[in-house]
Amino acid sequence: MMRAGIFFILATVLLVLLMRYGAAAEPEYADIVFSRKTPGADEIPAAVFPHWVHRINFKCYVCHDAIFQMKAGAHPVTMDAIRDGKFCGACHNGKVAFPVGFDTCDRCHHQ
């Protein structure tokens, strides 16, 4: 009986800590909505970068600052650059991650 009580208290403390610090860290890894730097291409919504999904797969330094600075909007990303293997294109080339193709546009471009 005693043991179960202590276990319950420990489990509760752990849960409270997780909720508190887990939630506090979240905003840093939230989705980043890109702002379009190319005028006249508004028929397709701006790209959304899901930070969290990438953070699970890679250490920070894989992207920061080798590919991206730690600052939203810091880069003039374009499709030409991506197709050239820069920015997202360093991985979204069909080898490391899904490539740019007409069946994948809306995985990056959605609202």
Give the footprint of ligand HEC on this chain (CB under 6 A): 28, 32, 34, 36, 38, 41, 44, 46-47, 49-51, 53-55, 57-58, 60, 62-64, 67-68, 70-75, 77-79, 82, 87-88, 90-92, 96-98, 100, 102, 104-105, 107-109
Between 19 and 109, CB nearer to ligand HEC:
109
Q: Are 54 and 63 in contact (CB under 8 A)?
A: yes
- Give Cα separations from 19 to 22, 44, 77, 85 (angstroms): 5, 37, 35, 39
The rounded distance, in Å, linking the Cα atoms of 21 and 10 is 17
Tell the smallest beta-carbon distance from residue 23 to ligand HEC (Å): 16
